[in-house]
Amino acid sequence: MPNASNEHEHTPLLPIGVVTGQTGLTARQIRYYEQNGLIKPARTNGKQRLYSFQDLNRLQEINRLLQDGLNMAGIKKIFQDNGLLPEVDQESAEKRVSETEMRKIFHEELKQAGRFNHGRGKFFNK
Amino acid sequence: MPNASNEHEHTPLLPIGVVTGQTGLTARQIRYYEQNGLIKPARTNGKQRLYSFQDLNRLQEINRLLQDGLNMAGIKKIFQDNGLLPEVDQESAEKRVSETEMRKIFHEELKQAGRFNHGRGKFFNK
DNA sequence: AGTTAATGTCAGAAAACCTAACATCTGATT
DNA sequence: AATCAGATGTTAGGTTTTCTGACATTAACT
């Protein structure tokens, strides 16, 4: 049986200020990645974002992929291929990828083949 | 070698709102326990409290002890005996316990002997 | 009845966060 | 070179959350 995943991995606990501190990303970046469907943090009743450790790991991975030159669409594709995309509402889901983009993405994905999901999650390894 | 303690056990991550949600305590209670030197959360630059998972565990234990009828002084004593009190500044440290209180505490502590530190930390077991 | 410990409640201020808009930068395209 | 688009910065105005400090309430004990 695999590792019993940590109790808090999916619990929304961290406000965006803490996440910026832990990831080095700016709040602007984090919200932008959310716009692109890469993460979907929980919300308080007052609509403040709360992130889980899984979100934190995901953001770290996004950061790495960005530094490798990937763009939003590329990262999204990779996440999709690994079945790691958050349940996306149809609104943001209909952001279809253009043809030329697809070729670009494909090229970049080659560069990245197999680089993801090798169990180096900094905060939790599920 | 003992368990490598989780990376985040001591990292200040959680705002008081999240802690109330996780513990069932009110913000008033949590701040009151801090006044009594039972916890010492970190602060942001803007003086907002940030709690670690260790703090969370400690608050859970405080909660249990309270439900067992212990009072602040009793809990404090127990924490002291177990070397678990946060570094306390002299200000709050000089809250000395009266004689009659001491007897009461001693009585209650008997009731509680050995009940603490049996490795039931809900969030992390160090 | 009077104390006191623990908690509730309230008010005003400050911090953190929200969305939306516009600005800037950079790399790719024409 | 000019333009375009993607990613991020910045700002403004509003809302949510937290802060401290004071006063109120409740329950237990003397």
Q: Which residue is nearest to nucleotide D18 (CA to C1')?
A: B48
| CA A37/CA A87 separation, integer angstroms | 9
DSSP B14: B
Q: Is the pLDDT reported for residue B95 higher than 70?
A: no
Closest by alpha carbon to A50, among B58, B17, B36, B88? B17
Average pLDDT for A3-7: 70
Q: Name, in order, each residue with C-beta under 8 angstroms of B35's C-beta and a sequence gap of 6 or more.
A: B92
pLDDT tens for A20-34 read 999 999 999 999 999
Backbone angles phi, psi at B49, to 5 degrees: -75, 140
Distance of A28 CA from C22 C1′ (whole Å): 15
Residue B62 DSSP SS3: helix
Nearest CA in chain B to A45: B17
A26 Cβ nearer than 7 Å to chain D strand: yes
Chain B residues in contact with A7 by the CB 8 A cut-off are: 122-123
Taking only the tens place, the pLDDT of each residue in A55-91 is 999 999 999 999 999 999 999 999 998 877 665 543 4
- Number of neighbours of residue B113 by Cβ within 10 angstroms: 8
CA torsion angle for A97, A100, A105, A106 (degrees, to 10)? Answer: 120
